[in-house]
Amino acid sequence: MIKITFPDGAVREYPKGVTGLDIAKSISERLAKEVLAISVNNEVWDLTRGIETDATIKLHKWDDPEGKHAFWHSSAHLMAEAIEALYPGVKLGIGPSIENGFYYDIDFNGHSISEEDLPKIEKKMLEFAQQKQPITRKEVSKEQALKTYKEKSDPYKVELINDLEDGTITFYTQGDFTDLCRGPHLPHTGYIKAIKLLSVAGAYWRGDEKNKMLTRIYGITFPKKNLLDEYLAMLEEAKKRDHRKIGKELELFTFSQSVGQGLPLWLPKGAQLRERLEMFLKRVQKKYGYEQVITPHIGQKELYETSGHWAKYGKDSFRPINTPQEGEEFLLKPMNCPHHCEIYKSKPRSYKDLPLRLAEFGTVYRYEQSGELHGLTRVRGFTQDDAHIFCRPDQLKEEFVKVIDIVLYIFKTLNFQDYTAQISLRDPNNKEKYIGSDENWEKAEKAIVEAAAERGLKTVTELGEAAFYGPKLDFMVRDAIGRKWQLGTIQVDYNLPERFQLEYIGSDDKRYRPIMIHRAPFGSMERFVAVLIEHTGGKFPLWLTPDQVVVLPISEKFNEYAKSVSNFLNNYDIRSLIDDRNEKIGKKIRDNELRRIPYLLIVGEKEQESNSVAVRVQGQGDKGQMKLEEFVKHIKAEIDNQLKEI
């Protein structure tokens, strides 16, 4: 017998070799039908894998990320099985689960494939799913694995196996299909009830443009058809909210091939919106004692070698800029933090000077692959709402908590209500990925965990998601239609102060290293604006929207009164414009509703005589007549309510 410990601390004894499915059945038949995977000592396993020793376990259902991972990973194999059956001779690359579904990279080896072929593949997948094919795991040696795929003449799997360390390698088999895979997987294919293949794209093997272009097929599956229907409805809504579409309609930003891919051009209305976001955060930061700094867009290559960014991100940076001075190399800056370290070093610091909070809306540059660029969410030049706090060890937790408060205020003001804080820690089994001592990592991780608990945040912990120089707290936000975005990050760093030899003089006149907190509540201005557009559907909060009011004269006789109304509002810093086109008032109303302007003020003879306006609210219809002074008070009160003091 072995002891199995459950998440609530309860312990039960089971025969050695018991499986996750056996454990679920021992609790209830209903649970056994719903469970998809099991964590055994924090490692996710197949439900059919035997447990041989005492273990701590957690059963995962559809609502758990681990459950979805096993479900979609199995679905990727199901798609590959269907494709092999329909297109003999294809060569398989990799097929992981992703946040929403899965994909598989495939060399179709002479077969042509397009989106018109996807329904045929879906049909074959459903056929195999309905057979409830058992999915079995088999351990083989590296030598056996290489032999298998060399005999199949599959260069992609051979390359993957060659890159694996010597030891046990696992294959998974369902029906006549076998694939190299780490797992985990479902017990059988019958769990998969609803299938939708979404798109076909090109993808270089292993993301390297020097390699062959493979065909990537994206898909998603569900255990119930109604879940698929809901997802497809969400996709349709997402198309309507696409920030690229709305950004064009509202004239916020554009791109130019002449300027270059991934380099957005902000149009006047977009620049105004972005500037208001910056001023909003600057006001908040001022209350918390931040000081604004400005640093150049380039720096000497040695600066980023010192920080470690060149070694870590050099391949994703723009190539070094050579100057007329022989041997001199500069980079477009990929990060702001090395520059802020140099500002800290610009004069001696005392323990009394700390914490020092330096903030900058700093533009950085990274050479993203062209296939990964996407509107404002993935660009090559972007501005971070960056700040770095240099503090003493006794100040660390307090400063971290204050940054959490800033992030939560931003979310509240912009109506992001559904969020989770992800505590991103180092992978204890892969420490070579990170720089710095174990002692400093443990201190930093402890401070983050305690600060999140102190603010009562709903948290999840992810091992292996830390930055190379320190652990972090990432805020994962769900938007209005249920999609998850990473917005805002706070990171603790003991390592850059060490690399840059930063010091302060303590009360005992000895020299000490400060601790550095990196924080960016928005993340990047570009990505944040993209998410905000899609979250609001382009209907921004009143304080933020480029045009707050449009004045609509019912005929040209009232154009002069419309101008006087607009001037009156502008004198109170209410952003207004006039639609004096020679069109019927009904068309003007419809057109300006589509432009998502919050307030439409209709003026005619009655309004002119009484120095008033007829108020129409976006999406809510007529609200009656108001005197101009009354309307100004109303709109100011709404803005004040949206920007309640932190």
Q: Is 472 annotated in the active site?
A: yes
Model confidence at 311, in pLDDT bands (50, 70, 90)?
confident
By CB atoms closer than 10 A (0-12, 13-18, 19+), residue 566 is: buried
- Please tell me which residue in 77, 196, 349, 366 is annotated as part of the active site: 366
- Please tell me which residue in 107, 385, 386, 474 is annotated as part of the active site: 386
Q: pTM of the full predicted structure?
A: 0.81
- Please tell me which residue in 388, 426, 483, 519 is annotated as part of the active site: 388
Q: Is 386 annotated in the active site?
A: yes
Residue 645 has a pLDDT of 63
Q: Is 366 annotated in the active site?
A: yes
Across all residues in the chain, what is the average pLDDT? 92
> Could you tell me the CA-to-CA distances from 640 to 62, 156, 376 in Å, in that order?
42, 60, 30
Q: Is 337 annotated in the active site?
A: yes
Give the tens place of pLDDT for each residue, 10-24.
999 999 999 999 999
141-145, 508-512, 639-643, range with greatest mean pLDDT: 508-512
Q: Is 391 annotated in the active site?
A: no
Give the tens place of pLDDT for each residue, 336-368.
999 999 999 999 999 999 999 999 999 999 888
Q: Which CATH class is domain 549-642?
A: alpha beta
* Rg (the chain; Cα; Å): 29
Select from 1.20.1530.20, 1.10.3720.10, 3.10.20.30, 1.50.10.20 the CATH code of 2-61. Answer: 3.10.20.30
Read off the pLDDT of each residue in 141-165 and give the average, rounded to a whole number: 90
Query: Is there a common fold for 2-61 and 68-239?
Result: no
Assess whether pLDDT exceeds 70 at residue 397.
yes
Select from 3.30.930.10, 3.40.50.2300, 3.50.50.60, 3.30.2320.50 the CATH code of 253-295+336-536. Answer: 3.30.930.10
Read off the pLDDT of each residue in 194-217 and give the average, rounded to a whole number: 91
Assess whether pLDDT exceeds 70 at residue 623.
yes
- Please tell me which residue in 68, 196, 285, 337 is annotated as part of the active site: 337
Give the tens place of pLDDT for each residue, 532-572.
999 999 999 999 999 999 999 999 999 999 999 999 999 99
Which alpha helices (DSSP H) does 87-224 contain, by range? 118-130, 142-151, 155-163
Assess whether pLDDT exceeds 70 at residue 646.
no
Assess whether pLDDT exceeds 80 at residue 227.
yes
Q: Is 518 annotated in the active site?
A: yes
Give the tens place of pLDDT for each residue, 21-66.
999 999 999 999 999 999 999 899 999 999 999 999 999 999 998 9
By CB atoms closer than 10 A (0-12, 13-18, 19+), residue 116 is: exposed
- Please tell me which residue in 133, 174, 285, 384 is annotated as part of the active site: 384
Identify each DSSP E strand in 439-587 by its residue range: 459-463, 472-478, 484-493, 504-505, 511-512, 515-520, 549-553, 576-578
* Residues flagged as binding site for Zn(2+): 337, 388, 518
Assess whether pLDDT exceeds 80 at residue 496.
yes
Judge contact between 21 and 47, C-beta under 8 A.
Answer: yes
CATH topology of domain 68-239: Threonyl-tRNA Synthetase; Chain A, domain 2 (3.30.980)
- Please tell me which residue in 196, 216, 274, 518 is annotated as part of the active site: 518
Residue 479 has a pLDDT of 86
Residue 22 has a pLDDT of 95
Concatenated DSSP letters for 346-381? Answer: TS--BGGG-SEEEEEEEEEE----GGG-BTTTB-SE
Place of tokens 């194999």: 77
Read off the pLDDT of each residue in 225-229 and give the average, rounded to a whole number: 96
Read off the pLDDT of each residue in 79-87 and give the average, rounded to a whole number: 96
Give the tens place of pLDDT for each residue, 441-475.
888 888 899 999 999 999 988 888 888 778 999 99
- Please tell me which residue in 196, 333, 472, 513 is annotated as part of the active site: 472
Model confidence at 2, in pLDDT bands (50, 70, 90)?
very high
Give the tens place of pLDDT for each residue, 142-151.
999 999 999 8
Parse the chain into domains and list their residue ranges. Answer: 2-61, 68-239, 253-295+336-536, 549-642
* Residues flagged as binding site: 337, 388, 518
